[in-house]
Amino acid sequence: MSQVDTGLRFPLANLRQVRREVARQLGRVRYAKWWFALAVVLLGLGSYAGVLVPQLMGQIVDLVTGARTAKPMWRICVELVVLAVAAAAMGAAGYYLVSRLSERVIANLRQDMVGTALGLPTHQVEDAGTGDLVSRSTDDVAELSAAVSETLPTLSTSLFSIVATVIALSTVDWHFMIIPVVVAPVYYLASRIYLARAPKRYAAERAAMAERARRVLEAIRGRATVRAFSMEERMHIEIANASWSVVRKGIRARTTMLVLNTWMLGIELLMLGMALSVGYYLVSTDALTVGAVTGAVLMIIRTRGPMNMFMRVLDVVQSGYASLARIVGVVSDPPVPVPDSGVDAPRGRVELRNVSFSYGGGWAVRQVNIMINPGETVAIVGASGAGKTTVAALLAGLRVPDEGVVLVDGYPVSELSDRERIARIATVSQEVHVFSGTLRQDLTLAKPDATDAELLSALDRVHAQPWFDRLPSGLDTEVGARGLQLEPVAAQQLALARLLLLDPAIVVMDEATAEAGSAGAGALEDAADEVTRGRSALVVAHRLDQASRADTILVMDGGAVVEQGTHQELLALGGGYHRLWSAWSAGRRELDADSV
């Protein structure tokens, strides 16, 4: 398994990019500024109403101790009920507005993330590692959504409660302002120490999760190779190491929160000690009544909850910000659509001219020249690692050559717009996907306006009729992960039927019949022949009998084309193709003998 260069992974967005993206997302929500302003007003008024409750409780103390008070007990009780109800109602309304606004922003950001991910060039995704993109699209989006849902309303209500308490304390006696003046720098110091360590640790945890996802995906996608080479133990160890890396870095990140909690306990002790000292001084000097001081101390005690909540959600905030920075790192640089090049109607002419490509080490393909005229089929054969799949990816525009040029109808394939490229090129590989939904929905992905007659015709042309006739609901049968699981041959025939509906001028088939096996080989090869008929085709051949029917056969070795010609010409040459054909024919005879 190859290692992914961490320098090629998707970047982390900086604070400026994150702020710009959040502002852009807020701008997409209708009346966002007005809803946010209303939420601020409601939260502010609700917080202030809640802060006045301790003052009224202090007046009850004065009433009980016989101190002078301008309010009777019944009036204090009514005001307590009114303030409590008002605080709860306005706080809930503000909380709802903030939650609603934040969830809409998250929904838009999630859509942009998925849209950007689907539009990214394949080579960029592969260079960065599919695990990194999967982790950002799933783990990070989920983490951000949870962080926003849990913390944004909490942060807003806590902040307004703290500000309202400070304002209310200033109206009781200016001496109480000494407390926030003294403890604020200590809170600031604690948060600075936390914020200096937490972001890097949470980013490291997110990166470790991406590495774990990459390891798991590699093991799943390469399970056949893993089993063939008895690499199960090695893969288990690598996945276990990646998982333990997540655990270690996660514990290290959470340790920063434990240190912050220690600071919080010390600050609370300091704050309560100062509150009692100031209160004792004011009562002893007759500056305030016992009830007024009680109300002030109760207000200070009430700030412990919002303050602790504010500081402790920094743990979730940092984790959410780390995820947001990873998401914005992808979203902030979406692929720019290529404009129409003005190429004429599709003809199906292909030319690879002096094409070379490297994955970062040696040359994967070197000085490859291929010409495919309209309607011709060119097959590529060779040993594993010869460069066949790389040539197919270069022709399809999934890779960009380091040297040379790939021309389609006379234009570089990289300069064709999506519309122009879709009209000309379609690729079918060994790994196909059956989308969840009805069979009709799966087929109409290639041609949304296709009639049922066209769908049935495409299935019939790829010889899918035998298994289609057994479906319980025909085209309305649910297939994919949430429905009927199609056999490999049926899934491949479905992919070929989609290609017929798409009707491109050029077909790239990368070992598209490799999963057929002996039982389905004939039907799938006939389906492949039907797809390539009348079209230009580049076929990376797994089965040499399929290659033998091509107009031209290219033999690749070490990233270069070493032989070229028709089937008969290459057999007469007596070179590498002759040896491949002899070995493959001998193997076929043995299989036929065993089956008899």
pLDDT at 33 over 80: yes
CA angle 202, 208, 211 (to 5 degrees): 150
Answer yes or no: is pLDDT of 592 > 60: no
User: Residue range 169-185: average pLDDT?
Assistant: 86
User: DSSP string spanning 21-66?
Assistant: HHHHHHHHSTTHHHHHHHHHHHHHHHHHHHHHHHHHHHHHHHHHHT
Pick the more confident residue, 116 or 500. Answer: 500
Task: Report the distance separating Cα 516 and Cα 489, nearest Å.
Answer: 6
Q: Where is pLDDT greater, at 136 or 555?
A: 555
Asked if residue 243 lies in contact with residue 216, where contact means CB atoms within 8 angstroms, the answer is no
- Percent with pLDDT over 90 in the chain: 19
Torsion sign (Cα): 583, 589, 592, 596: negative
> What letter would DSSP give residue 549?
T
* Mean pLDDT, residues 145-169: 77
Q: Could you tell me which residue, 49 or 535, shows the higher pLDDT?
A: 535
pLDDT of residue 484: 87
Question: Would you say residue 304 has pLDDT above 80?
Answer: no
Specify the pLDDT at position 309.
Answer: 74
pLDDT of res. 6 = 44
pLDDT at 512 over 70: no
Structural contact between residues 336 and 359, judged by C-beta atoms closer than 8 angstroms: no
- pLDDT of 2 strictly over 50: no
Q: Name the range with the highest mean pLDDT among 122-126, 264-268, 550-554.
A: 550-554
Whose structure tokens read 């995820």?
323
pLDDT computed for residue 102 by the predictor: 82
Which of 411, 397, 425, 437 minimizes the C-alpha distance to 502?
A: 425
> What percent of the chain shows pLDDT beyond 70?
91
Cβ atoms within 10 Å, residue 475 = 17
Single-letter code of the amino acid located at 317? V
pLDDT band at 315 (very low <50, low <70, confident <90, very high): low
pLDDT average, residue stretch 431-443: 88
- What's the CA gap between 420 and 346, in Å, rounded? 8
CB 513 within 8 A of CB 492: yes
Q: What is the pLDDT of residue 7?
A: 47
Q: How high is the pLDDT of residue 562? A: 93
Of 25-34, 119-128, 139-148, 485-494, minimum mean pLDDT range: 119-128
* Domains along the sequence of the chain with CATH: 12-331 (1.20.1560.10), 350-595 (3.40.50.300)
3-state SS class at 591: helix
What is the model's pTM? 0.64
> How far, in Å, CA of 301 to CA of 53, rounded?
13
DSSP symbols for 368-407:
EEEEE-TT-EEEEEESTTSSHHHHHHHHHTSS--SEEEEE
Q: Which residue has the higher pLDDT, 442 or 304?
A: 442
Computed on alpha carbons and rounded to an integer, the radius of gyration of the chain in Å comes to 34
Instruction: Mention every residue, 6+ apart, whose C-beta is less than 8 A from residue 271.
Output: 179, 183, 300, 303, 304
Q: Which is more confident, 46 or 458?
A: 458
Average pLDDT, whole number, for the chain? 82
25 within 8 A of 105, measured Cβ to Cβ: yes
The mean pLDDT of 291-298, rounded to a whole number, is 82
Position 50 pLDDT exceeds 90: no
Per-residue pLDDT tens over the stretch 363-385: 899 999 999 999 999 999 988 88
Note the pLDDT of residue 522: 72
Q: Could you tell me whether strands 506-510 and 478-479 are parallel, antiparallel, or unpaired per DSSP bridges?
A: unpaired
Taken in order 587, 590, 595, 596, the sign of the CA dihedral is: positive
CA distance 57 to 77: 9
Range scoring the smallest mean pLDDT among 98-112, 350-364, 565-579: 98-112
Question: Does 1 score more than 50 pLDDT?
Answer: no
The whole-number pLDDT of residue 386 equals 87
In the chain, count H helices and then E strands. Answer: 20, 12
| Coil/strand/helix, residue 508 | strand
Q: What is the pLDDT of residue 219?
A: 84
Question: Do 46 and 91 meet the contact criterion of CB atoms below 8 Å apart?
Answer: yes
Total residue count of the chain as it appears in this document: 596
Whole-Å CA distances, 416 to 115, 351, 420: 20, 15, 6
Which pLDDT belongs to residue 335? 67
User: What are the backbone angles phi and psi of residue 382, rounded to the nearest 5°?
Assistant: 155, 170
What confidence tens digit (pLDDT) does each residue in 546-588 have? 888 899 999 999 899 999 999 999 999 988 888 888 887 876 6
pLDDT of residue 222: 78
